[in-house]
Each structure stands twice: as C-alpha cells, then as structure tokens.
C-alpha cells in the first residue's frame, strides 16, 4: 500500500478555517451544528474530511462556499482564502469568487448538471460570467479543458446533453467545469460515491493528475476509508460537528490516537475473504440457466440476465457482485418472482418456482424473503412498525395478536426496544430502519433471505453492526442468504461463495477465497484492483499481509 507522503510545509496556505461554528436557530432555540472547526489546506495538498452521516462534513464545505441553507448560519470563526476573510465579503463579491477561486463538485453529477442544456454550453457559461473571453475563445477553452479531463471526441461531447453521457463522463464534465477557471480550492463532496468502483478509480486519478498540474488545494469529503487511503495527504476525522483527530494519512491509519477513529477504522471490512465454513448438503435454493430478456426474439433480444446458475445451502451465504447494470438486481427480482424470468429453473426447497402461477407460488413466497437497499423507502411511511412487522404473518393466517407478540420478540432480537412497535419509520435512523426491515423478513421464518444491497446505504460502523446481525440470525435460524452487493469488501467479509456478474452474465463463480483471492477472470481482477485501499488492513492498522491480499501475489 503506497500512501502519499508529500510535504507541504513550505507551500502557500490556500484556505484556513479557524474556530468555525455553525448553528441552527428555530423555535426550540439555538443549537450548534459545528463546534469550533479548525482546518488548513495548503496549495497542492489533498485534505480528506471523513466521518459518518450527520457529522458535519458537508456543512463545513458549504460554510466555505457560503452556501449554507437558510436554517444554518455561521456563528463564529474565520474562513480565510489566501488571507482574505470570506465572512466579510458581500454576497456579490462571494459570487464572483465562487467558481473563479473556490469550486465544488458533487456526489450526483446527473442532478448537478442542467438536463436541458448542452454540457459544452454549461462550461462556457462559467467562462462567460467570470471572464472577458470572446465566444470563440470560450469555445476553444471548453474543448481544451474537456481534453484535459480525458474525454474522447470532445467536439461531440461538448454538444451532448447530460443524459447522453455515462455517470463517469458526467463527473468528468463536472470536474472540467470546476477547474476551467483554475481555482485555488476544489471542494469535492463524495464525488465518487455514486460511481462504480472501476470508474471511481479513474476519477480519483484524474483529480490527482489535475491537482498536480494546477497546484489546486483539494478538500475531499468522503465516508470511504479506502478512498482516503488512496488519495489523502492529510486526514481530518469528524464526528457530531467536532474535529476528532487529524494528521498525515499514514500515521493516522496505522496509529490512530482517538478511540472514535479506531472504532471507525475497525468497522471497515477487510478485503481478505472470510475463513471458509464447512459446506452443508442441505440445499435450499438452486438456480439453473436463469435468463431474463426483453424485446423481440432472435438476435434483437436484450438480455438483462443470461444463463446464470448457482446453489445456496442452508446456513451459507452466496454473494452476487458486479457493477451497476450488471443484472444483479434483476436476478434477485426474478428469483423473488417480482418479475417473471424468461428461461431457466429456480428450485426452492425442491419446487421449481420459475414457472408457477402467482396463485400456486403464494404458499412458497414466505420461504423467500427480501431486504432492500433503501430503508427509507422499503417501509410504508404511514404504517407503524408493528403494522409493518405483522403484515406478512397475518397474510399467512396468523392472528394479529399472535403476530404482535412475535413482533415484540423479534424487534428485541434485532436490537430495538419493544415500544418501537408503536412508532413510525421516520422516527428511526437508517440503520435502525434496516434492522426493522430485517425483522420483517425474518418474521416470515424464511429459508432464503435475499439482501439486495442491504448495507450499501449505511454508514460503515452501522454497516458492520447490520452485517453482524445477518451473521447472528443466520447462525441461529440456518438461513441461506443471497447477498447482492457492489462492495467487494462486504462480499469478502460475509460470503462463502461469490458469483461475479458482468452485463447480465456470470463471469466467475466459486468459493469466496478462490474468486477474491485468486481470480481467474480478467474482469474480476479489474474489479479487485479498482477497490480503493485494498492493500491496507484498516481493522488492524497495518498493511494487509501479501498472502491474504485479494487478487493474489501480483499485487505490488
């Protein structure tokens, strides 16, 4: 694992935040959101701001941009950009400064770009507002910056609308737009979180390259410790609006001083596959030759899933990994019969459910339960938790009273208080809601549990707890778990077998130790190589021993 070890002591200070306090004021009084944040970024330096959601990372960056929402205001402190106090500026002066000297890129480039304007015109608009260039000069500058972010066929790209580009290309456009005026400071707020891991790698190296070229100071906000290990010079850890710890990347990752930092790092799953568990002969789900296609017959058919097969035994976990659009979720939805598969067999406890009519399938449905990715949307916001939990059992003939008793037991098993049953979903945090969704699925006493990106929306420490819950429930109930994820670390931590999907096809399937440890297929190797921070064992604060490193010995 190579960390950055550049020294910036001699470099000019680009931005300095001193004692920044942000507060929200409402009917209940004034409450602080940030408590005395100090931060210094020198020219050419990459500072990572890490922390879980709600820690105040984004609020800090928005305070620098003076873009705080109306309910938040800066209560105290200084924000100096190259010695100029930003808090003293009038709104008009600040507007002139944004883009020209401080620029920002966001998590979701689709929503950050205007969908009805060509991307070239959107970059040219920045130039038109902040420079005196003529139209033809602006055009040349746009094409040149598009070339610098390594977009192909820049003429065509500049004439494209955002929806005609891929996610990675859109993020490149955002970076081009942010850097076209060569700002002093670039704020990147989770810029790669919405991207696939291979695209993420390219975007990270692009930011690095342009930073070196222009000497830009970068404030990089992320929750992903792997990304931190890859790109940071200096790391600042935030929690509850406070700066917990800061320091150069290597000392911070290898010898964290604060308990919270330790706790945060210990929650990062290792890329080393879990020790193999003894195989069970009790097969609960066998999928063979499963396909889902759309469109006409013959060559014109589009396959979302093509000829995929695997076997899931009781008490074991099969991971389906792949990038977005690889057909992972379609496969899961076929198995759950939320959509009808086009071909193949789904053998659930000895019955082929692929071709059953909805009515004939109904008795089998309870054996097959699901936990979705987004716990905000998978619980009906108008129902109490109790109503959510008893819905399934009541559908299958339990009395409401019995089901409620079982729900009270189950809610405690997943680690929530009994009175949670009378509350509504919005009163819980994301992790708690995911526990509720798991409780709801387990209430049905299923044999197979499908987890569709079930921990992807959670903070890393919450993710670790929820993964532990899956593990505990599996050990207790002997569930077969089909775990769908894009995150190789999560897959390595909990899967016995892994199936790698690419464009609807299974490219590799086998024991986790083999697929992740000694991948045969080039695509699997590419995925593993793109995983950020893969050579570092975050939990043990040291490099991952070579023999355990995913992807084999050709790593260094």
Partner 1 sequence: MTEILKTLVEAAPPGRTRRIPQMGMTAKIALTILMVIVILTVIAPWIVPHDPLQMDPLARLKGPSLDHLLGTDNFGRDLLSRIMIGGRLSLMIGVATACVSVGLGLILGLVAGFFRRADAVIMRLMDALMAIPSILLAIALVALNGASVGSVIAAITLPEIPRVVRVVRAVILSAREEPYVEAAISLGSRTPLILFRHLLPNTLAPLIVQGTYILASAILAEAVLSFLGAGVSTETPTWGNIMAEGRMFFRIKPELILFPGLVLSLCILSVNLLGDAARDMLDPRLRKSAR
Chain positions contacting partner 1, by CB under 8 A: 24, 28, 31, 33, 53-59, 62, 69, 71-72, 241, 336, 338, 362, 365-366, 368-370, 372-374, 377-382, 391-392, 395-396, 419, 422-424, 426-427, 429, 437, 440, 444
Q: Which residues, in sequence order, are CB contacts of 67 under 8 Å at separation 6+? A: none
Q: How far is the CB of 420 from partner 1 (least distance, A)?
A: 9
Q: At 221, which helix (H) or strand (E)?
A: strand 217-222
Cβ atoms 305, 290 nearer than 8 A: yes
Nearer to partner 1, 72 or 133 (CB): 72
d(CA 431, CA 465): 9
The smaller minimum CB distance to partner 1, of residues 265 and 385, is found at: 385
CB burial string 276-307: b at 16+ within 10 A, e below: eeeeeeeebbbbbebbbbeeeeeeeeebbbbe
**Minimum CB distance to partner 1, residue 371 (Å):** 9
**Chain-centre distance for alpha carbon 239:** 19
How does DSSP classify residue 408?
H
Least distance between partner 1 and beta carbon 189 (Å): 9
Nearer to partner 1, 230 or 453 (CB): 453
Euclidean distance between the first and final Cα of the chain, in Å? 8
CA-closest candidate to residue 270, choices 64, 73, 56, 533: 533
Nearer to partner 1 (CB atom), residue 121 or residue 374: 374
Residue with smaller CB distance to partner 1, 108 or 347: 108
- State in angstroms the smallest separation of the CB of 498 from partner 1: 24
CA dist., res. 210 & res. 216, Å (int): 8
The nearer residue to partner 1, 180 or 421, going by C-beta atoms, is: 421
Apex 298 CA angle, 294 and 304, nearest 5 = 30
| Eight-class DSSP state of 98 | B
Choose between 262 and 423: whose C-beta lies nearer to partner 1: 423
Cβ distance to partner 1 smaller for residue 10 or 28: 28
Q: Residue 299 CB, nearest distance to partner 1 (Å)?
A: 28
Shortest separation between residue 398's beta carbon and partner 1, angstroms: 11
Q: How far is the CB of 380 from partner 1 (least distance, A)?
A: 5
Rounded to a whole number of angstroms, the minimum distance from the CB of residue 396 to partner 1 is 6
- Write the DSSP string, 508-553: EEEEHHHHHHS--SHHHHHHHHHSTTTTEEGGGTEEPPGGGSTT-G
Q: From CA 387, how far away is CA 394, in angstroms rounded?
A: 10
């Amino acid at each position: 694992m190579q960390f950055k070890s550049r020294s910036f002591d001699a470099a000019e200070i680009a931005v300095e935040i001193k004692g920044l306090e942000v507060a929200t004021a409402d009917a209940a009084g004034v409450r602080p959101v940030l408590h005395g944040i100090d931060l210094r970024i020198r020219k050419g330096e990459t500072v990572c701001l890490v922390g879980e959601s709600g820690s105040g990372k984004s609020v800090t960056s928005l305070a620098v941009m003076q873009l705080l929402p109306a309910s938040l205001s800066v209560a105290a402190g200084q924000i100096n950009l190259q010695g100029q106090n930003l808090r003293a500026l009038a709104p008009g002066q600040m507007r002139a400064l944004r883009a020209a000297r401080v620029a920002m890129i966001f998590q979701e480039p689709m929503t950050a770009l205007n969908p009805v304007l060509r991307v070239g015109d959107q970059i040219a608009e920045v130039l038109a507002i902040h420079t005196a260039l003529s139209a033809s000069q602006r055009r040349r500058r746009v094409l040149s910056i598009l070339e610098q972010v390594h977009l192909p066929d820049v003429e065509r790209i500049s004439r494209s609308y955002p929806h005609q580009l891929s996610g990675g290309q859109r993020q490149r456009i955002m970076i081009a737009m942010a850097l076209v005026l060569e700002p002093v400071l670039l704020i990147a707020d989770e810029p790669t979180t919405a991207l696939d891991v291979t695209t993420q790698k390219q975007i990270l190296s692009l930011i690095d390259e342009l930073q070196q070229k222009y000497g830009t100071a970068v404030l990089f906000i992320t929750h992903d410790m792997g990304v931190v290990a890859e790109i940071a010079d200096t790391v600042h850890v935030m929690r509850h609006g406070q700066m917990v710890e800061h320091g150069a990347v290597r000392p911070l990752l290898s010898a964290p001083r604060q308990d919270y930092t330790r706790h945060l790092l210990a929650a990062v799953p290792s890329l080393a596959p879990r020790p193999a568990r003894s195989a069970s002969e009790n097969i609960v789900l066998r999928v063979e030759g499963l396909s889902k296609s759309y469109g006409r017959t013959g060559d014109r058919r589009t396959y979302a899933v093509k000829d995929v097969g695997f076997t899931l035994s009781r008490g074991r976990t099969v991971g389906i990994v792949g990038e977005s659009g690889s057909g992972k979720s379609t496969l899961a939805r076929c198995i759950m019969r939320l959509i009808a598969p086009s071909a193949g067999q789904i053998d659930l406890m000895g019955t082929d459910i692929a071709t059953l009519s909805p009515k004939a399938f109904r008795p089998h449905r309870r054996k097959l339960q699901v936990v979705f990715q987004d716990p905000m949307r998978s619980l009906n916001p108008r129902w109490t938790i109790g109503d959510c939990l008893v819905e399934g059992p009541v559908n299958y003939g339990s009395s409401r009273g019995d089901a409620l008793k079982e729900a009270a037991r189950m809610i405690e098993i997943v680690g929530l208080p009994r009175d949670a049953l009378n509350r509504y979903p919005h009163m819980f945090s994301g992790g708690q809601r995911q526990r509720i969704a798991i409780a709801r699925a387990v209430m049905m006493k299923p044999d197979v549990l499908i987890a569709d990106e079930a921990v992807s929306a959670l903070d890393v420490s919450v993710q670790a707890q929820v993964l532990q819950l899956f593990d505990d429930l599996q050990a207790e109930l002997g569930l077969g778990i089909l775990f769908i994820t894009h995150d190789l670390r999560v897959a390595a931590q909990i899967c016995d077998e892994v199936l790698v999907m690419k464009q609807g096809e299974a490219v590799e399937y086998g024991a986790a130790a083999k697929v992740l440890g000694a991948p045969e297929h080039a695509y699997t190797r590419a995925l593993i190589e793109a995983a950020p921070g893969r050579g570092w064992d975050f939990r043990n604060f040291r490099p991952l021993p070579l023999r355990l490193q995913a992807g084999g010995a050709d790593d260094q």
